[in-house]
Structure 1
């Protein structure tokens, strides 16, 4: 998450709304193989599928916080680029999700247009696995910031993957070996801008409820709006939703469907959505920065343990094949594409 200085000068997060209770795990603890941190990580990934990762008091974490602060400024400037420039770099669904998604291009559960835009950069291009995607000059001039953020995110994802594997009595590399950054995948760095909600008609969902399609998501944001569905609750029941209160210096981490598949249902990929920001925060635009990790294209999606297998297919499919045969739900518009070759994104 961003440093505390980015939390200064914004409207306060209200104290009178229902917030989700999430474990806070220390990055320093994970890096030091601390038993308590490992146990907290597994418990969070089994019960809610979300947790806070505290980057503070860790050398790499502190460097990542500084990088996030810089990218928040860059991200706002990217969204402020003239529409004529952004429209030269629109995503090309279903071929590719890279580039800009305009506001209103998807629908919410009420069939109303969404209230957010995003900008995606592919890991493959940033790593040199394929040619870098076409980008505005403004982004190219700042590409090293994105590469730095991706590198930190890759290291953190590896620590989480190793921790979960060992806690599940699997070899440490079990999950990490299926997400090598040097191999083709759909992993992206994403900026999201959810627009302010000053009018009564704006007090609705900005991004439809969904589960993430990949393995691990690392999210940094300052203003509220993210909501998590209470396990066992119905997405149609407003009382079943809980707000996530952003914490300075802490990333929000959640698991995606691939981790459920690999663990035979032992871990949880929880439903979540972006609502309008709570309280006075609704009068401000909400910016987020995320790394969304997905399995490498040719990784096997066969479960690596058979604890439950409830709702999990014992498949021989590769990640690319598995993603293509997943049910086409409206929410998956946000997280997958159907592309045949090296443009797999």
Structure 2
């Protein structure tokens, strides 16, 4: 199914929602050309808001991220994951790190990962308030690969710019000033996770897949997925799993539980997963890069004024971002421990 919507500005017009692919809107952000008019921007914001209301997922083109930055990240990441297990373990996640910085491997899921966080930068403490948990400020772990750190740093900078633009579209779509969210992200604790799904020489054990069904915890996820193998699926309102297409030159955007909470559940955080490839593609490894744009640790998240009628109460009490994520991590740790025991037993 495909459709398009044009936004006319004087004698000119441009396609805002360029297509709908398997239920997901593909939206041109127009960030890689001339600045958009206010009318174009409002129409783009409306298309983004519609997607967040209906499914919480969309695909974006015209994002302005240079292909050079993406390609270098892919090259460096491939180099890292092809290294020996001993080499990768040299930058393994510390057990006490709440932000899971470094190399990790799924307990039951068929993937490896590498994560860096903005709070792991040397100057992070200067940007944060004095009451921030010191564990959040543990340094990032960098493998000894020439150019690796630079590639990740440049990609994170590009993602920070893109995510900030999307948050401004979020604000406009919610009837707020464009910079309404800016203060909450002044010392944001965003992370970048590279996911590596190894090729499968034999059929996986029953019940094991590349990434189990889950919802993202936070505000906004910007995902780049390679085009060599399928796997990402979203769970639609019709009760069916739908494939997310890997459209060349695009990013997949989705909101998480915290953004749904911010909007009083006007917007939806959708369950998604990564399934094992069909036999014909089992020989192919899969890479994806998820940038999780999260508020500052001390940011207080409460119901957005425009997401509640005058006689309507907020569904959720205000919460600090760091406390919210700490509670999410505790619940996840308990769940993973129970699963690991069941698998071992």
Structure 2 length-normalised TM: 0.76
Is 1:200 equivalent to 2:206 in the alignment?
no
- SS of the aligned residue for 2:30 comes to helix
Question: Match for residue 116 of structure 1?
Answer: 111
Distance 1:320 1:326 in 2: 10
Name the one with the larger strand percent. 2
Q: Alignment partner for residue 73 of structure 1, among 75, 81, 88?
A: 75
Which structure: larger Rg?
2
Alpha-carbon deviation of 1:322? Answer: 2.0
Offset at residue 70 of structure 1 (A):
1.4
Distance 1:292 1:135, change over 3 A: same
CA contact (8 A) 1:208 1:331 kept: no
TM-score by length of 1: 0.76
Cα deviation, residue 22, structure 1: 0.8
**Which residue of structure 1 aligns with residue 4 of structure 2?**
none
1:259, distance to aligned residue in structure 2 (A): 0.7
CA contact (8 A) 1:209 1:331 kept: no
Structure 2 unmatched ranges of 5 or more: 1-20, 126-137, 337-345
Distance 1:22 1:316 in 2: 31
SS in 2 for 1:89: coil
Residues 1:98 and 2:101 are matched in the alignment: yes
Deviation at 1:316, TM superposition (A): 3.0
> SS where residue 283 of structure 1 aligns?
coil
Higher relative contact order (CA 8 A, sep 6+): 1
Pair 326,191 (structure 1): closer, same or farther in 2 beyond 3 Å: closer
Equivalences for 1:1-345 in 2 at 5 Å?
20-28=22-30, 32=36, 33=38, 34=40, 35-55=42-62, 60-61=64-65, 63=66, 65-96=67-98, 97-102=100-105, 104-105=106-107, 113-126=108-121, 128-130=123-125, 132-138=139-145, 141-180=147-186, 183=187, 185=189, 187-201=190-204, 204-222=208-226, 223-231=229-237, 233=239, 240-278=240-278, 280-305=280-305, 306-307=307-308, 313-326=315-328, 329-330=331-332
Distance in 2 between the 1:165 and 1:145 partners? Answer: 30
Cα distance between partner residues in 1 of 2:268 and 2:298: 23
Whole-angstrom CA distance in 1 between matches of 2:334 and 2:47: 29
Mapped partners of 1:211, 1:277: distance in 2? 21
TM-aligned CA deviation for residue 320 of structure 1: 1.1
Q: Does the aligned pair in 1 maintain the 2:102–2:115 contact within 8 Å? A: yes
Unpaired segments of 5 or more residues in structure 1? 1-18, 106-112, 234-239, 335-345
Deviation at 1:278, TM superposition (A): 4.2
Distance in 2 of aligned mates of 1:333 and 1:100: 21
**How far apart, CA to CA, are the structure 1 residues paired with 2:295 and 2:97?**
18
**Distance change >3 Å, CA 201–CA 125, structure 1 → 2:** closer
Contact 2:198 / 2:286 at 8 angstroms: preserved in 1? yes
Q: Aligned with 1:165: secondary structure?
A: helix
* Matched length: 293
The 1:198/1:312 distance shift into structure 2, 3 A limit, reads farther
CA distance in 2, matches of 1:145, 1:327: 28
Aligned partners of 1:67 and 1:149 also within 8 Å: yes
| Whole-angstrom CA distance in 2 between matches of 1:119 and 1:134 | 9
Deviates more, 1:213-222 or 1:200-209: 200-209
Cα RMSD, aligned residues only: 2.8
Aligned-pair CA distance for 1:326? 4.2
Residues 193-232 of structure 1, C-alpha deviations (whole Å, 9 max, x = no match): 0122343336852111111111111111123211100126
Runs of 4+ in 1 over 6 A off after TM superposition: 308-312, 331-334
